[in-house]
Structure 1
Amino acid sequence: MTVDPNMLLAIVAMAIATVATRIGGLVLIRFVTIGETQRRALEAIPPAVLMAVIAPTALVTGPAETIATVVTALVAVRLPLLAAVAAGVVTVAILRMALGA
């Protein structure tokens, strides 16, 4: 196996950019006063990003995955994240067996 130096350099550069962005945000946020509106907007970002990543896959892959996504979302309203994920995995497994997918 050979290592392409350009590929390695690209991976290292992306890692450095990621770490610098995270650390920069933590350092800079100390100098910013966040109001209630900004706090609510910042709290809405993680679920929005998660839906942007999950929705295309859940709605395009098949009926088992789509139904499991709905089940996971419904369980997540009441139970902890681990229970919601477990419910989704079990649902998709059962539906794939039942539907022959």
Structure 2
Amino acid sequence: MIDAVTVLTIVLMAAVTYLTRIGGYLLLRDRRLGPRASAVMEAAPGCVLISVIAPAFVSDRPADLIALAVTVLAATRLPMLPTVLIGVATAGLLRHLLP
């Protein structure tokens, strides 16, 4: 059985995630963003991706370093979703195959 604290933690994390997403929409729905603010909003998903893969730069595992190189290469050629899928699949496969 799942612990009640674990369920509460998951529900609260989901609520906070939802509130941060809907909060931006509610705050900015009647406003026009300038070019600078638009550029920041468009760059945000890339920043999130970098924060996820940045720890692999200091990894000593060959599988992580190869997966990082493949992900960076994919990021230069493909949109965000295929890049994430390729990165996750490559990391999982290489971690399984390499020590």
TM-score, length-scaled by structure 2? 0.67
Cα deviations by residue, 1:40-83 (Å, 9 ceiling, x for unpaired): 11111111121111110353151232122112211332245437
Q: Which has the higher contact order (CA 8 A, sep 6+)?
A: 2
C-alpha displacement at 1:24, in angstroms?
Answer: 2.0
Aligned mates of 1:96, 1:7 — CA distance in 2:
29
Bigger Cα Rg:
1
Q: Is the 8 A contact 1:58 1:66 kept in 2?
A: yes
- Partner amino acid, structure 2, of 1:20: L
Q: What percent of counterpart residues are identical?
A: 38
Give the ranges of 4+ consecutive aligned residues of structure 1 lying more than 4 Å apart after TM superposition: none
Gapped regions of structure 1 (runs ≥ 5)? none
Counterpart for residue 82 of structure 2: 82
Structure 1's 34 and 21: CA in aligned 2 closer, same or farther, altered over 3 A?
same
State the secondary structure of the residue aligned to 1:31. Answer: coil
For residues 60-75 of structure 1, the aligned pairs below 5 Å read 60-75=59-74
Extract unaligned runs of 5+ from structure 2: none
Q: Is the 8 Å Cα contact of residues 57 and 68 (structure 2) preserved in structure 1?
A: yes
Return the TM-score normalized by structure 1.
0.66
CA distance in 1, matches of 2:12, 2:42: 29
Q: In 1, Cα distance between the equivalents of 2:18 and 2:90?
A: 32
| Amino acid aligned to 1:16 | A
Letter in structure 1 aligned against 2:29: R
